[in-house]
Amino acid sequence: MAEDSDVAQARVFADMLNVEIAAASSRVEASEQLARTALRVGDARSHEWHGGETQAHKQALYELHRQLTALRTRFPAVHCGS
């Protein structure tokens, strides 16, 4: 049976979200590393700035996960195929 076009489109979007989640996760890790390095060398301003960047990246990551969860809730077949 042919896949419903809405489900097919949801799968494509889920794949795109998964790519964005991977990229956002990398940004969080990089910001955390920079914050730790700044703290280790005693650069409080950089530590604070990178800490803020980390929080912003985490918020974006949480939003991407929320969108993916909502998509998979609406289209359960997407969850089975991904």
Q: What is the pLDDT of residues 21-60, one digit of tens each?
A: 999 999 999 999 999 999 999 999 999 999 999 999 999 9
43 secondary structure, DSSP code = -
Q: CA 31 → CA 1, 25, 80, distances in Å?
A: 46, 10, 33
Share of the chain above pLDDT 90, in %: 87
- The whole-number pLDDT of residue 74 equals 94
- Chain segment 51-80, per-residue pLDDT in tens: 999 999 999 999 999 999 999 999 998 875
Q: CA 1 → CA 4, 5, 14, 75, distances in Å?
A: 9, 12, 21, 17
pTM (2 d.p.): 0.85
- Per the rule left: phi > 0, alpha: psi between -120 and 50, beta: everything else, 42 is left
